[in-house]
Structure 1
């Protein structure tokens, strides 16, 4: 960042815009569709609207999936080959390993997607496993790490220590309860749609 002191201002603007867009889309969808919104919500549009929406969304979804798959594969590759010549040289082992890691990661993603066919349940599982930690758990852990030995140094630090303890407890609770609810929903809903080409919109 060119001016690090402006970070708070930029993150605040991002949060306001982000929250406004989420609220606006939720209100518009609820206004025109009602409580019976399909998941994903694009399935609730009319026949023509659905085709247009999916036509616009598919490139974005593909790009996002490819980026995430590439990052995961690169992470594994770097962890395996850090400190070796294979990191930067084109050898048979490095190319073969890169292809194998990519193939394995995409096969694992495909197996998960086919095994949990209801989109809502898959989103719930992902959110319970990762969302609550990235949004609440890790920031609290980072605060404790950055302020190690100073948790009770002042009134402000005591307040922040209590606040971050509460946030961390909330993340653990959300993860545990979210996993339980997701697992329960997956076991109830995963009947006929597993490993088929049927429409899995709810």
Structure 2
């Protein structure tokens, strides 16, 4: 089976493989998230640490790098400079505030034992 060609092919089989992989990923993620106590807090921490940087922060830094030396050349570039600096500051805020909220939620769950209670209740319901 030469599946390396299926990656870029536009056939029914390649679409079925990609959709199957996506469905399998989401089913496995759903099972893991329900099986592990307080897994949602761990996912929140990892997404807060990466989401704002990969969507907003890196784009702002790349624009600054690509336009180095011509930031103030035109009114349009000055406006884009302000916008990209604002995006970097916004991503810093989202990163720090999101991490703080997610970590404090995780610590509260450990203090109250809500993650372990959820697991025990789930096991009781299953039989």
Give structure 1 stretches of 5+ with no counterpart.
1-56, 65-109
**Cα distance between partner residues in 1 of 2:28 and 2:40:** 21
Distance (Å, rounded) in 2 between the aligned partners of 1:150 and 1:157: 7
Q: Which has the higher helix share?
A: 2
SS of the equivalent of 1:193 reads helix
Structure 2 matches for 1:69-88, cutoff 5 A? none
- Partners of 2:75 and 2:23 lie apart in 1 by 51
The residue aligned with 1:193 is 115
After TM superposition, give the deviation of residue 58 of structure 1 in Å.
Answer: 6.2
- Per the alignment, residue 172 of structure 1 pairs with 92
- The answer on 1:146 being equivalent to 2:66 is yes
Pair 1:182-2:110 in alignment: no
Aligned residues: 93
Q: 2: distance between equivalents of 1:192 and 1:157?
A: 51
In 1, the alpha carbon distance for the partners of 2:23 and 2:107 equals 29
Residue equivalent to 2:24: 59
Kindly indicate whether structure 1 or structure 2 has the higher relative contact order, using CA contacts under 8 Å at least 6 residues apart: 2
Specify every segment of 5 or more residues in structure 2 that has no aligned partner in the other structure, as ranges.
1-21, 123-127
1:107-186 correspondence to structure 2 within 5 Å: 117-186=37-106
Partner of 1:71: none
- RMSD of equivalent CA atoms: 2.9
Q: CA deviation at 1:180?
A: 0.6
**Relative to 1, partners in 2 of residues 1:163 and 1:175: Cα closer, same or farther, differing over 3 Å?**
same
> Partners of 2:78 and 2:108 in 1: how far apart?
45
